[in-house]
Structure 1
Amino acid sequence: MTDVDTASMTAWIAPRYGGGEVLRSEVVPRPTPGGRDVVVRVRAASLCSGDLHLLTGTPYLLRLGFGLRRPKHRAIGQNLAGEVVAVGEQVTEFRSGDRVFGEVPSGAFAEFVRAGVGSFALVPAALSMEDAAAIPDSGMTALQGLRDIGKVGPGQRVLINGASGGVGSFAVQIAKVLGAHVTAVCSSRHVEMVRSIGADVVIDYTVDDFTRTQVPYDVIFDLAGNRTLREIRRVLAANGVFVSSAAAPGDNWFGPIRWLAQVALADLFSRQTLKALLMRPAAADLEHLAGLAVDGKLRPVIERRFPLSDAALAVAAFERGHASGKTVLIA
């Protein structure tokens, strides 16, 4: 095992459930690796919707696994890029000094983080730490939704509802890589950005209703959760595929469970394919996305950058929503 100094480090901690206002910067012990773990010095991290769910403890059903009264895992943050500083004695995939990126269960908003080797992939030399940190959760969600569930191929008509956010900005570009004709739905403020990353048609939802268009779409990737299933199916081709992310409508108690059940039930009785997406982290997908970025086919859209020391401010800004692409913390 590679040695690592067991001194303390600074980490952002959530002592109770809440928003950005509950976060505290604390001095905690620096992690050491287990047999199949690596310890990474964090150079950049990005925010995702999962961070807010774990921070706020909503939907409340989530607390059964993550702590009823307060978070079981107080350290927050899931997406990061950095350098390996220590490896467990059973690790052969990485060594000290390797640049890596990935998604971890918690603790990415800190100077160092420990996680299993399966959480990470190498960062290519041509990719910056900021861009790499922006990719994991959002990039893999977009890739798995379009490639694996949507089965998007050349010439298909794909609509992405919620195209300006973290997942949406990746989805527009990945759909183009897969050869699709892409219609992107966003607000007025984001029209030019979405067009700049390759959307063939951009619909401003404050002006036009995409569920009233006459064009049947082969694949609809819904990241906004602001339309009913009936409205969506109205513009979905007879044999089309609807992919719903976990951002679908829900309530503070059960979250999207009712919506997911509705989608699953409708799928049983329809020629159309109606599926919910639950992203599964995979190192192979991280490597694929990094390759697309290096080849110039994928550009992480980063609207807001904060120093890691301002993580609480970054989370508060993220809570307000309506950003273009990702929010990144820089160590």
Structure 2
Amino acid sequence: MSEKPAGPPATMAAIVHHRYGPPEVLRFERLPRPVPAGGEVLIRNHAITVSSSDCAFRAADPFFARVATGLIRPRRPVLGVEVAGEVAAVGEGVTGFGPGDRVVAVAGVAMGGHAEYTRLPAEAVVPIPGSLAFVDAVAVVEGGLTALPFLRDHAKVGPGQRVLVNGASGAVGTAAVQLAKHLGADVTGVCSTANLDLVRSLGATEAIDYTRTDFTGRREAYDVVFDAVGKSSFRRCRPALRPGGTYLTTVPGLPVMLQALWTRRFGSHTAVLAFTGLRSARDKAHDTALLLALADAEEIRPVVDRRWPLAQAADAHRHVGSGRKRGVVVLTVDE
């Protein structure tokens, strides 16, 4: 028998945007509380990430983000992809979860996480193992779901390889340093002066201060260069790659798209751009479970920059957009 949300009020707090623009377009509103349909789970959120993708979708920058979110105005006014909380109710046919279960879920392009409640397909929901806190669980997933498929599936990182992570102190970068090390690689992290100690503490053998050293000047030094912030390019990084090496970037653009197509067939090095957020809910749930298990076993650890209450989402967006955050920024509900 399905469980349904009980008792008034049948509304929830949410952060919405009805037009594109700076963080000031975000508004605190009360919306109808979702009711789970068949195969769905309703989650009472406790911790929600604010990512660079959320900021891009809010501002429609780059412009082609509107393809996913709406050409003239946002079709999905509630942002937010990764949430952690407790199951509030389940829809018909859901047997793997029940009210009170501690879970993490990834909404994908549907978004809807910046609210008290989020309704998602059951296949997108993963139990939180052990005693991981909600904030820590969601923080591990945010960058990890990007870094893991890039390193494991596209670069096939393994023991003995040398991996450089550019932007090693951000959400994706902190996950990439730890996951590359977990996969057996020797890791170099590139970051600002203030974050050198952080990057070393995550397992990097070497941390490079980009204000003092240009890593691209190192000839044939790395098997993989993972540009986690898209601040460099395949052309600049190619001399630093060993023969057969791979350049990875998270930031789309026409040059790297063309380079990826060309190098796949003809190049001595390979450029890779992957849209990891477009993977199936099942694939993302599988990797979410793996990341949570690694965190529970203390093989990797979350890096949380700051947390804000849900009502101060504009401040969180402003901080993420500044480019100065370390790790993950989190919104909390009822903390």
TM-score (norm 2): 0.93
Q: Secondary structure at the match of 2:61?
A: coil
2:257 is aligned with 1:260? yes
How far does the alpha carbon of each residue in 1:74-112 deviate from its partner, in whole angstroms, 9 at most, with x for none?
111111100011111021221211111121121211111
The one of 322, 325, 328 equivalent to 1:326 is: 328
Partner of 1:243: 248
Q: Secondary structure at the match of 1:179?
A: coil
* AA in 2 matched with 1:163: A
CA distance in 2, matches of 1:261, 1:50: 23
Q: Which 5+ residue runs of structure 1 have no aligned equivalent?
A: 249-255
CA distance in 1, matches of 2:233, 2:247: 12
> Is the contact made by 2:141 and 2:292 (CA closer than 8 Å) also made in structure 1?
no
CA distance in 2, matches of 1:53, 1:36: 30
CA distance in 2, matches of 1:199, 1:61: 35
> Is the contact made by 1:211 and 1:234 (CA closer than 8 Å) also made in structure 2?
yes
CA distance in 2, matches of 1:326, 1:208: 26
> Is the contact made by 2:259 and 2:271 (CA closer than 8 Å) also made in structure 1?
no
Partner of 2:189: 184
Partner of 1:275: 272
Q: Secondary structure at the match of 2:242?
A: strand
Partner of 1:227: 232
How far does the alpha carbon of each residue in 1:11-43 deviate from its partner, in whole angstroms, 9 at most, with x for none?
000011112100000011000001111100000
CA distance in 2, matches of 1:215, 1:236: 5
Partner of 1:157: 162
> Is the contact made by 2:305 and 2:326 (CA closer than 8 Å) also made in structure 1?
yes
CA distance in 2, matches of 1:267, 1:48: 30
Q: Secondary structure at the match of 2:147?
A: helix
> Is the contact made by 1:47 and 1:328 (CA closer than 8 Å) also made in structure 2?
yes
Partner of 1:64: 67
> Is the contact made by 2:187 and 2:206 (CA closer than 8 Å) also made in structure 1?
yes
2:79 is aligned with 1:79? no
Q: Name the CA shift for 1:71/1:203 in 2 (closer, same or farther; >3 Å).
A: same
CA distance in 2, matches of 1:145, 1:201: 21
CA distance in 2, matches of 1:47, 1:88: 27
> Is the contact made by 2:256 and 2:271 (CA closer than 8 Å) also made in structure 1?
no
> Is the contact made by 2:79 and 2:112 (CA closer than 8 Å) also made in structure 1?
yes
Q: Which 5+ residue runs of structure 2 have no aligned equivalent?
A: none
How far does the alpha carbon of each residue in 1:211-262 deviate from its partner, in whole angstroms, 9 at most, with x for none?
11145211111112222322211011101122221x25xxxxxxx2443223
Partner of 1:307: 309
> Which piece of structure 1 moves more, 275-284 or 191-200?
275-284
- The root-mean-square deviation of aligned C-alpha atoms, in Å, is 1.5
Q: Secondary structure at the match of 1:12?
A: strand
Aligned length: 323
Partner of 1:252: none
Quote how far apart the aligned CAs of 1:274 are. Answer: 2.1
Q: How do residues 91-110 of structure 1 correspond to structure 2 at under 5 angstroms?
A: 91-104=94-107, 105-110=110-115
> Which piece of structure 1 moves more, 43-52 or 214-223?
214-223
TM-score (norm 1): 0.94
CA distance in 2, matches of 1:131, 1:266: 38
The one of 294, 297, 312 equivalent to 1:295 is: 297
